[in-house]
Chain A
Amino acid sequence: MIVADRKSIHEILDMVKDCSNILVVGCKGCVTVCNVGGLKEVQILAATLKIARKKEGRPLHVDETLLERQCDPEYIAMIQDRVNDYDAVISMACGVGPQFLSEAYPDQRFYPAVNTTFFGGAVAHGIWEERCAGCGTCIIHHFDGLCPIARCSKSLMNGPCGGSDHGKCEIAKNVDCIWDKIVRKKMELGRLNDLLQVFPAKNWQTARDGGLRRSRREELIQHG
């Protein structure tokens, strides 16, 4: 899923400092799963903003709503009747949400309440970790399900570098060296030979480096 962290309340308060009537829009997609932009988080943010502004003596009216997803025009359309009734709208979805909203409603101002961080999953209760860099050309099968592009700090295809230290990455003691894991797993599986080849340079055209990416499913596209 797409993982995000909520921005600080100070940053969000600053975004809407000139507003007196706003809408907070949550999303039932990824940000609900990673507990940052679902129903509960929308309620908490709305309440926190109201309390903070009340303390300042400048009360803020905050309405709350939750969309099925903010990455599909049909759900974005659900708020068309009231979206322009507010001074501003705060989206608690990933970075896609405020953009789809802005594209659909050019007269309104949309602010992101979260920082979208990575594609990953929950490794423990309350802890999410990156697993995919969205490079557009998956190679994890060469590395027994451990992605060096997303998980090596240098995205090395032929690691581990000299900075691998007791299974940890040189950048921090709490970051695993994925190449240490790759090598150990190959050894356990008796497949170390897989790593003796020099893996060639990656073609980054399918990653962000190639410019804006678009997926087309011809069978779904409605022509005419």
Chain B
Amino acid sequence: MDDLKSGSNLEKVLKAGHFALTGECGPPKGANVEHLREKFLHLKGVVDAVNVTDNQTAVVRLSSWAASAIMVQEGVEPNFQMVCRDRNRLAMQSDILGVYAMGVRNMLCLSGDHQKFGNHPQAKNVYDIDSMQLISLAKTMRDEGKFFNGEPIDVPPKLFIGAASNPFAEPYEFRVYRLAKKIAAGADFIQTQCIYNMERFREFIRQANDMGLTEKCYILAGVTPMKSVGMANYMAKQVPGMDVPESLIKRLKGVEKTKVAEEGIRFCLEQIEEFKTMKGVAGVHLMAIEWEHRVPEIAERAGLLPRPVVN
């Protein structure tokens, strides 16, 4: 245990060399705890940790720290997401201490979607620090036991620090360097943006391998099964930084309407199969958006169950 940074289940699974599987759960637009529980309990025992999104797409939801704490109570390991949009450095440090006190052991540091996308576009944004600096902050708090200002922390928060990487956003040439920066800042693990363009991802991971980055950090490949042709078109055209090849849209269009979701899952399973043996990929981050109940089936068919138990 001594050589573990946080002792989180996710860290233990990755450190033991298992192919990790993480899931995702968006808190409700309200205080409907029952609905939240129902959603994340589908993932219990099916994934190693569950990302809890933080006002994703800048839409107000039940706070990620509270949802994470509820998960801990239910025996599900959260990966607490924190964005830089809504908190200054005081609130960030306070919430990092807060989630640690509630039993949270993983944290994902993100810039956050601009508030213009969300349901309060009139809001003032914060961006006191950026995601790179947030990674560095969480690491300083954990490893040096110090606040941003250098003052000592009375019981430092020992969190397994994650960050995101988007291999598909422009400028492509810089993306692997930005990944390197996040690792240098202190990221222990990376979850990538949803991958659909496998060719580009293979090139990205090859670059990361060549630079020695995959030896310093665990990279979890992000996948989101397509539920419909409409969803694929939306992702392709409307979501910034998303790369959905025409060939995938064609493939989904090529099957009967009632079988599109199954085809989307099949593509996802093929991806996972390739990731399992891809050098430099330590696991999969399965973002089944509002499809949590299908995750057990996908994990089963991907041959990822049962999940390893590492003590």
Contacts and interface: CB of A to CB of B under 8 A. Distances in A.
Contacts of B174: 160, 183, 187, 192, 195
A198 B132 contact: yes
A164 B241 contact: yes
B170 A154 contact: no
B98 to A, nearest CB: 21
Contacts of B184: 198
Given A155-B127, A162-B164, A198-B184, A180 B133 contact: no
A183 to B, nearest CB: 5
Interface stretch (A66-74, A107-115, A166-174): A166-174
B185 A198 contact: yes
A37 to B, nearest CB: 27
A172 B133 CA distance: 25
Nearest to B129: A201
A157 interface: yes
B82 to A, nearest CB: 15
B114 A157 contact: no
A163 B114 contact: yes
A179 to B, nearest CB: 9
B201 interface: no
Given A163-B113, A163-B240, A171-B114, A192 B177 contact: yes
Contacts of B166: 162
A170 B130 contact: no
Contacts of A204: 128
Contacts of B282: none
B181 A158 contact: yes
Interface residues of A, number: 33
A198 B181 contact: yes
A165 B133 contact: no
A154 B130 contact: yes
B169 interface: yes
A180 B129 contact: no
Q: What are the 8 A-B residue pairs with the smallest beta carbon separation, nearest first?
A: A162-B166, A158-B132, A170-B240, A165-B240, A156-B130, A201-B129, A163-B240, A162-B241
19 contacts: A153-B125, A154-B130, A155-B127, A156-B127, A158-B131, A158-B132, A160-B169, A162-B164, A162-B193, A165-B169, A165-B170, A167-B170, A170-B240, A172-B116, A180-B171, A183-B173, A192-B177, A198-B181, A204-B128
Interface of B: 84-85, 89, 111-114, 116-117, 125, 127-133, 136-137, 148, 164-166, 169-171, 173-174, 177-178, 180-181, 184-185, 193, 240-241
